[in-house]
């Protein structure tokens, strides 16, 4: 039950990030993504953006997103599945 909730929440975060990136074809930095989605984390003023960074790692591994310099961009549908 708890794991199902966590998996649904993770999927919602991934969907929110890909939806946001679809509106920004030039890409966004992790900090911009975290700020836009209210995902900034903070521990004693440090370690901001780890939540969004972790979700971005999953999106990169699934090849839904690609990194161009410091920016993350949504991969076009014709690129998905191509290594």
Domain ranges of the chain: 2-74
Here the tokens at position 59 are 């999106």
**What is the architecture of the domain spanning 2-74?**
Orthogonal Bundle (1.10)
Angle (deg, nearest 10), helices 50-61 and 30-37: 110
User: The pTM is what?
Assistant: 0.83
pLDDT tens across 13-71, in order?
A: 999 999 999 999 999 999 999 999 988 876 666 666 788 889 999 999 999 999 999 99
Give residue-wise pLDDT tens across range 26-42. Answer: 999 999 999 999 888 76
Alpha-carbon distance of 41 to 3, in angstroms, equals 22
| Rounded Cα–Cα distance for residues 55 and 20 (Å) | 14
């Amino acid at each position: 039950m708890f794991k199902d909730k966590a998996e649904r929440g993770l999927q919602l975060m991934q969907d929110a990030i890909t939806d946001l990136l679809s509106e920004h074809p030039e890409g966004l930095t992790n900090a911009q993504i975290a700020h836009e989605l209210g995902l900034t984390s903070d521990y004693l003023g440090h370690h901001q953006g780890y939540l969004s960074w972790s979700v971005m790692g999953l999106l990169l591994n699934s090849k839904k997103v690609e990194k161009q310099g410091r920016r993350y961009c949504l991969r076009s549908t014709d690129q998905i599945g191509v290594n």
